[in-house]
Amino acid sequence: MKTIFVEEVGGSREIDIYSDEGFALLSDLWSRSGWQFRSFHDVSWLGVPILQLPQDMVMMQELIWKTRPDVIVETGVHLGGSAVFYASMLELIGNGQVVSIDLTIPRTTRATLAAHPMGRRITLIEGSSVDESVAAQVRALIDPQARVLVALDSDHSRAHVRRELEVYAPLVKTAGYVVVFDGNMELLADAPGGRPEWLTDNPATAMREFLAEHPDFESDGYMNRLGATHCPAGFLRRKGQGTSEVVHGGAERFDEAVGAFRTEQRRVRSALEASVAEERRRHRDAVAGLQAVEKRSKNSEAKLKEEVRVLRAELKSVYRSRTWRAGRTLALMGRPLLRLGGRSPSAR
């Protein structure tokens, strides 16, 4: 399969699925079909249902690792999976707190988060995220110099998200991000279970209005490179290079960690190579010693054989001598060998 046909006003059009347009179209179709099956409802993180598209969570972890936020402000708690996800990323980094806000937070969710190992990094605030008293509580928890990442995923109406952007975007410093979830609602307006009003009443519309009035923010399309997403064009980055160390500082710390790891790797490799060289020397010396012993043994064996040969030749010479033969003859005749040349019969 290489192409698909798309029905449009005035006829159909053939699209190469391996083209950029084809990839974008298939990604949208996958998101539409996946929404019908609610497959993302079965996804959990560290034991807590997260109700998010895995591709979006992969991008969020990349963003968190890159920007190293001190605080992640999340609107929309529900079952608490996203809060646990964000907290676990901060735990890996070794710093940071999650502030999670929702109109109502079920007792079961509170209990789950309180008992969870990541719960110590999560602060829950109950109330409308656009209520000024709630916003004030959030601001009171954040140091003015803190790096903040904002994730908007509560009430998905255009008006609510628009207000959330006005309230929480100012917390984000240069090169920081606001992530707007569920902008894909406008793609689902004509889908089974969708609503016609979603075509305009959705987070994506609010996001576009916000960008039109706030040129200091831009959509970072690179964060949507996986295609299928519930946050189309929803990764909003604050422009500017004045404090871009917010991003690059984290990257530099990562590079330092990688450099330290590689230095240690070289040290261990060097030590291992030295140990291997020493063992090879010991092996070489042992083999040489064994060969020397074997050589000495062979030389000793040859010398012993020569001595045996000489002795045998001497014995053979003795055996062939006339004296030996005479003695043998006398012994056989019963006269003791010791009388040869001894006393005469008259001396007895």
> pTM for this structure?
0.67
Domains with residue ranges and CATH for the chain: 1-37 (no CATH), 42-243 (3.40.50.150)
Strands 148-152 and 71-75: parallel
**Has residue 40 got a pLDDT over 50?**
yes
The dihedral built from the CA positions of residue 71, 76, 79 and 81, taken in this order, carries a sign that is negative
The dihedral built from the CA positions of residue 286, 292, 296 and 301, taken in this order, carries a sign that is positive
Asked if residue 144 lies in contact with residue 186, where contact means CB atoms within 8 angstroms, the answer is no
Q: What is the pLDDT of residues 257-314, one digit of tens each?
A: 667 777 777 787 788 778 778 777 777 777 777 777 777 777 788 887 887 787 777 7
pLDDT at 312: 78
Of 294, 42, 37, 306, nearest to 188 (Cα)? 37
The Cα–Cα gap between 123 and 118 comes to: 11
Q: How confident is the model at residue 164 (pLDDT cuts 50, 70, 90)?
A: very high
Q: What is the pLDDT of residues 57-106, one digit of tens each?
A: 999 999 999 999 999 999 999 999 999 999 999 999 999 999 999 999 99
Task: Count CB-CB contacts under 10 A for residue 48.
Answer: 19
Token pair of 140, please? 């009171």
**Has residue 163 got a pLDDT over 60?**
yes
**Has residue 340 got a pLDDT over 80?**
no
Of 192, 214, 194, 193, nearest to 202 (Cα)? 194
Q: How confident is the model at residue 245 (pLDDT cuts 50, 70, 90)?
A: very low
